């Protein structure tokens, strides 16, 4: 099997209450594509997911958000759920890290409620974006053009609406990170 993301390092930023599938599916797809994937959070140890209508499984945290450096990674993935992005958007270190990835022109991928983080980081204005239906007004009010699609790519910003969109979301992330030159 080809590994289009060999030598690529991807950071997933999440905390307790992340939507289970929105962390696990991208993590697993990126690893299958050959990427090295790390999870950054607000606390060390393990964080607990939200699985549809109740608490889900835990995942191991590799590093603290405050210790993460955008220069060490090729892209950033932001899982949704209601709880996770709502907690992260209150943390200046998390918002600063998102801004650092965006400023470096690296892919920043947000699904479901995670576009709240893009809004908080000041990255929505003038962009074409999507998100979960309950936050689409927030996205529009932040100055983005809301598009109702499985995945929307505008420059280095990748957004999707919900777990049903995960295949398209993951494909867009992989496409954004795959080297143009196979020798890269």
Kindly state the tokens that stand for 50. 């939200």
| Separation in Å, CA 5 to CA 34, 139, 173 | 5, 30, 10
Kindly state the tokens that stand for 4. 């289009």
Other beta carbons less than 10 A from residue 49's beta carbon: 23
Contact 135, 116 (CB under 8 A): yes
User: Among the options 106, 113, 127, 161, which is catalytic?
Assistant: 113
113 a catalytic residue: yes
Kindly state the tokens that stand for 111. 């699904």
Quote the CA–CA distance of 66 and 91 in Å, as a whole number: 10
Bridge partners, 159 (sequence order):
110, 152
* Residue 73, φ and ψ in degrees, nearest 5: -130, 160
Task: Indicate which residues carry an active-site annotation.
Answer: 113
């Amino acid at each position: 099997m080809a590994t289009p993301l060999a030598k690529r390092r991807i950071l997933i930023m999440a905390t307790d209450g992340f939507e289970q599938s929105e962390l696990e599916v991208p993590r697993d797809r990126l690893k299958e594509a050959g990427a090295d994937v790390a999870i950054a959070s607000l606390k060390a140890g393990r964080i607990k997911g939200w699985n549809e209508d109740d608490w889900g499984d835990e995942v191991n945290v590799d590093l603290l958000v405050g210790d993460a450096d955008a220069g060490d990674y090729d892209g950033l993935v932001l899982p949704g759920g209601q709880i996770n992005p709502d907690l992260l958007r209150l943390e200046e270190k998390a918002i600063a890290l998102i801004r650092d990835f965006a400023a470096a022109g690296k892919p920043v991928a947000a699904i479901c409620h995670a576009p709240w983080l893009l809004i908080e980081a000041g990255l929505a204005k003038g962009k074409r974006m999507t998100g979960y239906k309950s936050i689409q007004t927030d996205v529009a009010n932040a100055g983005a053009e809301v598009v109702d699609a499985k995945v929307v790519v505008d420059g280095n910003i990748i957004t999707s609406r919900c777990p049903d969109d995960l295949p398209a979301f993951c494909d867009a992330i992989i496409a954004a990170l795959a080297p143009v030159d196979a020798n890269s």
